[in-house]
Chains A and B, each alone.
Chain A
Amino acid sequence: KNEVEQSPQNLTAQEGEFITINCSYSVGISALHWLQQHPGGGIVSLFMLSSGKKKHGRLIATINIQEKHSSLHITASHPRDSAVYICAVIREATGGGADGLTFGKGTHLIIQP
Chain B
Amino acid sequence: DSGVTQTPKHLITATGQRVTLRCSPRSGDLSVYWYQQSLDQGLQFLIQYYNGEERAKGNILERFSAQQFPDLHSELNLSSLELGDSALYFCASSEQPWLGNTEAFFGQGTRLTVV
Contact = CB atoms under 8 A, between A and B. Distances in A.
Interface of A: 30-31, 33, 35, 40-45, 48, 50, 86, 88, 90, 93, 96-106
Contact of A90 (B47, B58, B92, B99): B99
B41 to A, nearest CB: 10
A86 B108 contact: no
B35 A100 contact: yes
B42 A100 contact: no
Nearest to A99: B56
B45 A30 contact: no
A102 B45 contact: yes
B45 A100 contact: yes
Contact of A105 (B33, B42, B103, B105): B42
Interface of B: 2, 33, 35, 42-48, 50, 55-56, 58, 88, 90, 92, 97-109, 111
Contact of A101 (B88, B99, B111): B99
A100 B33 contact: yes
A102 B24 CA distance: 23
